[in-house]
Amino acid sequence: MCETCGCGDPHLVPVAIQDRILSVNDRQAAHNREHFAAHGVLAINLMGSPGSGKTAVLEATARAFAGRFRTGAIAGDLETERDADRLRAAGIPARAITTGNACHLDADMVHTALHDDSLHGARLLFVENVGNLVCPAVYDLGQAFNVVALSVTEGEDKPLKYPVMFRKADLVLVTKTDLLPHLDLPLDRLLDALSRVMPVPVVLQVSSRSGEGMEAWFSWLEGRLAEAGGSHP
C-alpha cells in the first residue's frame, strides 16, 4: 500500500526491461554456434513449406558428397522418423526430432540432438526444420546460414505472403524445376517478389529429381565449407 499519503493504492514500480522475449533461446543458440565454430562445423538451417522438397534436396546432396565431406542431419517433424530414415538410407547419419504439436525447432531441441553420437565428426550439419513458412523463422538455432526451399508449385507470390521467412534467408532454393513445363509459373515474377523481401536475393533453381542446377547448390555449399575453415575432411 502507498505509504506516502495513506491513500490505499498499491505501490507500483515501473521497471524498464527491454529484453528480447526469446533471450533464453538466443543464449542457447549462441552456445550452439560456439560449439559449431569450435568443431569446424558448418550448420545450415533448411526451412520451407511441407512438401517443398527439403528432404529430397538433402538426399541428393548426401549422394553427391558421399566420401568427400562428413555430413550429418537433424530432421524435425511433428511425428515419425520418416525423414531421418530417408536421410540415413541416402547415407547421412540423421537424428529425428519429433516435436509433437510444436510448429518449429528451437535451439534447445537442436542442442539435445547434437549429443547423438552418430552426428559427431560431421563437418556439414543440416537442420531440416519443421515444414512451415512462418514459425521456424522466429527461432535462432545457432546456424551459420538459413536456406529456404520454395517449390515451383507453391506459386510466384509466396515470398510476398511470407516475408519474414524470406527476409531471413541467405539462400533460396527454387525446387522441383523439372515440373516447370507443366506449370504456368512466371519465374521472373517469382524473382521480382524475392527482391522485394530479401535485401540480397541469392537464388538457385534446382531439381533434385533430374539433377539440373544441383551443381550450383553443391558449389555454394563447398564455398561455405571452405570459409568455415579447416582442410580436414
Q: Which residues bind other proteins (CB under 8 A)?
A: 1, 10-25, 102-104, 106, 134-135, 137-139, 163-165, 167, 192, 195-200
Cβ proximity to other proteins, 164 vs 183, nearer residue: 164
Grouping H, G, I as helix, E, B as strand and the rest as coil, residue 95 is strand
CB of 184 vs other proteins, minimal distance in Å = 24
CB of 107 vs other proteins, minimal distance in Å = 12
Handedness of CA 147, 170, 197, 193 (dihedral sign): negative
C-alpha grid cell, residue 102: 510444436
Q: Are strands 203-205 and 171-175 parallel, antiparallel or unpaired?
A: parallel
CB of 165 vs other proteins, minimal distance in Å = 8
Give bridge partners of residue 204 from the DSSP assignment: 173
Cβ proximity to other proteins, 67 vs 100, nearer residue: 100
Cβ proximity to other proteins, 168 vs 209, nearer residue: 168
CB of 97 vs other proteins, minimal distance in Å = 15
Cβ proximity to other proteins, 93 vs 142, nearer residue: 142
CA–CA separation, 183 and 122 (whole Å)? 39
CA–CA separation, 178 and 180 (whole Å)? 6
